[in-house]
Amino acid sequence: MNEALKHYCEDNGQSYHDGGVKIQKINNDGFVLLSKKDILGLHSEIGDFIIETSGRLVFEKDVDRKALDYIHSIIINGGTVEVPRELYPLFLLKSENHGKLEKY
């Protein structure tokens, strides 16, 4: 998975530069459920990353502030992003919202 994910991101223009640092972008147009372990695994493979979604994205309750720090930003083009109630303010700060950001 690690090499395949890196090549996919690099070959599809799925990155941004922030002060000279390359930041990979993950796109979601379907349904994704992310746990803390998923976020840490992605970070260990590609470093900090951006999530852009037009689908449904759910962050599990185990996601904490440290895991959230590895996500550079969340772009919500449409659809719904569901986040744990305790971290809702932090998700607001990380998000560019054109859809729905819901707490549970």
Mean predicted confidence (pLDDT) in 82-98: 98
Mean predicted confidence (pLDDT) in 9-29: 73
Strand partners, 96: 75
Among positive and negative, which fits the CA dihedral 26, 2, 69, 11? negative
Mean predicted confidence (pLDDT) in 62-68: 98
- For the entire predicted model, the pTM comes to 0.82
Q: Whole-number mean pLDDT of the chain?
A: 89
Q: Which helix (H) or strand (E) holds 82?
A: strand 80-83
Q: Say if residues 59 and 104 touch (Cβ distance below 8 Å).
A: no
Mean predicted confidence (pLDDT) in 12-17: 56
pLDDT for residue 22: 84
Per-residue pLDDT tens digits for 55-64: 999 999 999 9
